[in-house]
Amino acid sequence: MAKRYTAESSEKWGWEELVDCITAPASYIFISLGLALTILLRPIGYVYLAIGIIASLVMYFVIDPKLRAVSDEYERRQSEFLEQVEKVSKWEEMK
Amino acid sequence: MEELRVSFHFLDWFWVITYLILMIGCGILFYQLGKRSEADFFLAGRGLPWWLPAASVYATHTATDTPMWIGGIIYKYGLRGLWYTFFSLWCAISAFVSTRIFRRSLAMSMAEWQSLRYSGLGSELLRGWLAGWQVFMNMFVLGWVGMAMGKVCQLLFGWEEWVGLVLFSSLCAIYVVSAGYWGVIMGDFQQGIIALLVIMIVSIWELMYAGGPGAIITKLNEMGQSWRLNPFAFTGWASGDFPILWFITLFVMAVIGGIGMGNFIDWYPEAQRIQSAKTVRDSSDSIFWGGLLVLTRNAFWAVALLGFFVLYPDIKDTSKYEIGWFRLAFESLPVGMLGFFFAAILAIHFSTISTHLNLGASYFTRDLYHHYLNPQAKEERLVWVGRLGTLVLLLGSFLMGSMMKEITSWLIFALWLQAAGIWLPSILQVIWWRFNAWGYLASWIANLGISWLVVWVLPAFGVFNKIPFFAKYFPMGLPDYIQFWILMVLTFFIYIPVTLLTKPDDEERLIKYYVMTRPIGFWGPIHKKAVAMGLIKE
């Protein structure tokens, strides 16, 4: 699945992030409320919990391939970037 | 309610002492790793798999005062009180937006990020301000959480409050001074597991002690309190103690706030965890799953607190019902388990104390000492300064703890100010290339003045009551969620003109930052220049 992304396409913000911005908060809300109501044996709790788990699975499978691609591309250049950060911190490169 | 006093037996003390040896031993075990460099002492060498910072996110945000806070809101509002805890929704968005951008900046702290995102004098003023603010804030949090431990010890053993504060913060400091962030993260992993298991087991135990789910629901119905089981029991659009407008404000603030950096106080410890993850993907996963674990834990506390309400429904004194979760456990757990439970409270306590000791020391060392006083310092010296900084934080926390009653109301105002007025600028600095250091500085300063006006001065002169809209819908004064919107609008008219009337940040700096972090939003002109320079492909 990770092969869908080229180095440059993985850097662009796209529909994957948009889907996650909906599913990730939904999973937080439904898992938390669902768990509380499930412990109290309320039937609606099971429904909320199921929605929350499905939302987090969707979130994970949508974003993970892209995150892997972003990571791989970025880590190639990380040491060069880190040197730059150290120079700024030591006033060797201040503009 | 009768006064609670518990007596510990041999098995109870065995658990407590075993746990203390385990924690302090952990510090000694990772001493060699912590002393290798500044990056090891504060970020564990930037090489952690996602589940270690995730456990730390969870453990850090499970403090001794957290069950008291959640106890208070659930006792007062029932299950709808859970919405208060959903400000952590920002983690859900941040994990895939601001976490990713911040991790790519490689900034060791949020103060250092100012030097990478902005340029010139403005960026240095921001870095110095944020570093000083964070040293102070971490001291305050240490004092606050330490005093919560003092209260628990007073409840249990009748000790003076300062004893619990000084004793347990000092014991925790032993492994933080020894191993730095390595000790913090390894400790947090153990503490997170212990705390999660004990919170689940004890909460279910308390639920059964109160009669079990069926009996609790029946009793709530008999008491005419069944609304406590409904998380959506709002009291109208703007009326009552749980209005929809409040909910909308919280929701917008939390969800959209996840795009920004530094708009929540929790961002700062999270920023350290983000940078300690070995890859961008690990940092995103750690924030998402750590945040989810925090909300899962709240569900267990909430049901236990409903059980407490059924047993003790008429408590008016906040300080009495806030400690409901602790009280029910100490009342109902058998000998031997009491000590185990107290050891878990120590785990909860140490995880927060260790984080804030190391985090405050990182601003003290990296941003104040290393950046401003001794830029060419060797790694060995920086680690020693880190240790000194940890001790400064520890001593400062004792001072803060002793003044807690006097400064709490002031500090809540200060946090308020941070949340309300810089909320939008903290997003703009991520998404808009033209937003500059002077604009961000102006937002902090504008906040200070306008917060005083909106929260205290104008209400004292009855100004809002003279405005027909406010007089009609909020005759008792403006609630805090309306103040939030007013502050946001008023400060906007200060920092936006300041931004547009001052020069943009240095172009070369912005291009470097853009190429490193690839931020979301309105970065078109910088993107085009980076492409023209051949630094990135179109």
Summarize pLDDT for B326-369 with one digit per residue, the tens: 989 988 888 888 899 999 999 999 999 999 999 999 999 999 99
Instruction: Give CA–CA dist A58/B254, Å, rounded.
Output: 21
* Chain A residues whose beta carbon lies within 8 Å of the beta carbon of residue B509: 95
Given an 8 Å threshold on Cβ–Cβ distance, is A74 in contact with B295?
Answer: no
Instruction: Give CA–CA dist B223/B226, Å, rounded.
Output: 8
User: Which distant-in-sequence residues (6+ apart) come within 8 Å of B77 by Cβ?
Assistant: B84, B228, B241, B242
pLDDT digits (tens, 9 = 90+) for B371-407: 999 999 999 999 999 999 999 999 999 999 888 766 5
| B412, pLDDT greater than 90 | no
Sign (positive/negative) of CA torsion B91, B94, B99, B102? negative
Polymer length in residues for chain A: 95
Residue B33: alpha-carbon gap to chain centroid: 27
| A10, pLDDT greater than 90 | no
Residue B177: alpha-carbon gap to chain centroid: 22
B473-491 mean pLDDT: 88
In this prediction, residue B112 carries a pLDDT of 96
CB B274 within 8 A of CB B95: no
CB B368 within 8 A of CB B392: no
Given an 8 Å threshold on Cβ–Cβ distance, is B303 in contact with A8?
Answer: no
10 Å Cβ neighbour count for B316? 6
**Backbone angles phi and psi of B337, in degrees to 5:** -75, -25
Of B14-23, B82-91, B143-152, B403-412, which range is least confident? Answer: B403-412
Kindly state whether A80 is in contact with chain B, defined as any CB-CB distance less than 8 angstroms.
no
Given an 8 Å threshold on Cβ–Cβ distance, is B280 in contact with A74?
Answer: yes
Given an 8 Å threshold on Cβ–Cβ distance, is B296 in contact with A35?
Answer: yes
pLDDT digits (tens, 9 = 90+) for B513-537: 999 999 999 999 999 999 999 998 8
Given an 8 Å threshold on Cβ–Cβ distance, is B520 in contact with A13?
Answer: yes
pLDDT digits (tens, 9 = 90+) for B263-283: 888 999 999 999 999 999 999
CB B433 within 8 A of CB B526: yes
Which residues sit opposite B277 in a β-bridge?
B48
State the nearest Cα–Cα gap between A4 and chain B, in angstroms: 17
Residue type, position B446, single letter:
A
Q: What interface predicted TM-score (ipTM) does this complex get?
A: 0.94
CB A45 within 8 A of CB A34: yes
* Chain A residues whose beta carbon lies within 8 Å of the beta carbon of residue B119: 95
State the nearest Cα–Cα gap between B279 and chain A, in angstroms: 6
* Chain A residues whose beta carbon lies within 8 Å of the beta carbon of residue B217: 40, 42
Helices (H) and strands (E) in chain A, counts: 3, 0
State the nearest Cα–Cα gap between A90 and chain B, in angstroms: 5
State the nearest Cα–Cα gap between B369 and chain A, in angstroms: 11
In angstroms, the Cα distances linking B504 to B426, B431, B435, B445, B521 are 17, 14, 7, 19, 17
State the nearest Cα–Cα gap between A73 and chain B, in angstroms: 10
Minimum-distance CB partner of A32 among B97, B299, B509: B299
CB B190 within 8 A of CB B350: no
In angstroms, the Cα distances linking A76 to A69, A82, B255 are 11, 12, 32
In this prediction, residue B410 carries a pLDDT of 62
Instruction: Give CA–CA dist B139/B137, Å, rounded.
Output: 5
Percent of chain B residues past pLDDT 90, beyond the cut: 71
Given an 8 Å threshold on Cβ–Cβ distance, is B86 in contact with A71?
Answer: no
Percent of chain A residues past pLDDT 90, beyond the cut: 62
Q: At what angle do helices B98-105 and B280-311 cross, to 10 degrees?
A: 130
B69-93 mean pLDDT: 92
Q: What is the DSSP string of B13-80?
A: HHHHHHHHHHHHHHHHHTHHHHTS-HHHHHHGGG-B-THHHHHHHHHHT--TTHHHHHHHHHHHHGGG
CB B385 within 8 A of CB B365: yes
Q: Which residues 21-40 in chain A show a CB within 8 A of chain B?
A: 21, 24-25, 27-29, 31-33, 35-37, 39-40
Minimum-distance CB partner of A89 among B82, B371, B508: B371
Q: Identify the closest residue of chain B to A83 by CA–CA distance.
A: B106
Percent of chain B residues past pLDDT 70, beyond the cut: 96
What pTM value is reported for the model? 0.94
pLDDT digits (tens, 9 = 90+) for B226-245: 999 999 999 988 888 889 99
Of B177-181, B203-207, B455-459, which range is least confident? Answer: B455-459
CB B73 within 8 A of CB B81: yes
Polymer length in residues for chain B: 538
Kindly state whether A15 is in contact with chain B, defined as any CB-CB distance less than 8 angstroms.
no
3-state helix, strand, coil in chain B (%, to 5): 80, 0, 20
Given an 8 Å threshold on Cβ–Cβ distance, is A32 in contact with B296?
Answer: yes
Mean pLDDT score of chain B: 92
State the nearest Cα–Cα gap between B253 and chain A, in angstroms: 13
pLDDT digits (tens, 9 = 90+) for B31-69: 999 999 999 999 999 999 999 999 999 999 898 888 988
CB B214 within 8 A of CB B314: no
10 Å Cβ neighbour count for B538? 8
In this prediction, residue B47 carries a pLDDT of 94
pLDDT digits (tens, 9 = 90+) for A39-69: 999 999 999 999 999 999 999 999 999 999 9
Scanning the structure block, which residue is given the tokens 């609790």? B216
* Chain B residues whose beta carbon lies within 8 Å of the beta carbon of residue A82: 106
Residue type, position B255, single letter:
V
Specify the 3-state DSSP secondary structure of B277.
strand
State the nearest Cα–Cα gap between B347 and chain A, in angstroms: 23
State the nearest Cα–Cα gap between A6 and chain B, in angstroms: 12
pLDDT digits (tens, 9 = 90+) for B126-185: 999 999 999 999 999 999 889 989 988 988 888 999 999 999 999 999 999 999 999 999
Given an 8 Å threshold on Cβ–Cβ distance, is A70 in contact with B281?
Answer: yes
Q: Where are the beta strands (DSSP E) in B443-502?
A: none
| B494, pLDDT greater than 70 | yes
Given an 8 Å threshold on Cβ–Cβ distance, is A31 in contact with B292?
Answer: yes
Q: Kindly indicate the confidence band of residue A6, based on its pLDDT and cuts at 50, 70 and 90.
A: confident
DSSP character for B211?
Answer: T
State the nearest Cα–Cα gap between A92 and chain B, in angstroms: 9
Residue type, position B340, single letter:
F
10 Å Cβ neighbour count for B181? 31
For residue B377, count CB atoms less than 10 angstroms from its CB and return exposed for 0-12, middle for 13-18, buried for 19 or more: middle
Given an 8 Å threshold on Cβ–Cβ distance, is B280 in contact with A84?
Answer: no
Q: Identify the closest residue of chain A to B74 by CA–CA distance.
A: A36
B191-204 mean pLDDT: 93
User: Which distant-in-sequence residues (6+ apart) come within 8 Å of B465 by Cβ?
Assistant: B471, B475
| B224, pLDDT greater than 90 | yes
Kindly state whether A20 is in contact with chain B, defined as any CB-CB distance less than 8 angstroms.
yes
Interface mutation target, options B208, B225, B279, B370, chain A, most CBs of A under 10 Å:
B279
Structure tokens at B177: 């001074």
Kindly state whether A13 is in contact with chain B, defined as any CB-CB distance less than 8 angstroms.
yes
| A1, pLDDT greater than 50 | no
Residue type, position B186, single letter:
M
Of B345-354, B412-421, B492-501, which range is least confident? Answer: B412-421
Structure tokens at B300: 């267990």
Given an 8 Å threshold on Cβ–Cβ distance, is A11 in contact with B518?
Answer: yes
Mean pLDDT score of chain A: 90
How close are the terminal C-alpha atoms of chain A, in Å? 42
User: Which distant-in-sequence residues (6+ apart) come within 8 Å of A24 by Cβ?
Assistant: A55, A56, A59, B92, B93, B95, B96, B288
Kindly state whether A83 is in contact with chain B, defined as any CB-CB distance less than 8 angstroms.
no
Q: Contacts by B1-6 with C-beta closer than 8 Å and gap 24+?
A: B1/B312, B1/B315, B1/B320, B4/B155, B4/B156, B4/B327, B4/B330, B4/B331, B5/B156, B5/B157, B5/B158, B6/B156, B6/B157, B6/B330, B6/B338
B122-127 mean pLDDT: 96
Minimum-distance CB partner of A25 among B92, B302, B509: B92
Residue B137: alpha-carbon gap to chain centroid: 11
Q: Identify the closest residue of chain B to A91 by CA–CA distance.
A: B375
Instruction: Give CA–CA dist A73/A6, Å, rounded.
Output: 9
* Chain B residues whose beta carbon lies within 8 Å of the beta carbon of residue A68: 281
Given an 8 Å threshold on Cβ–Cβ distance, is A17 in contact with B97?
Answer: yes
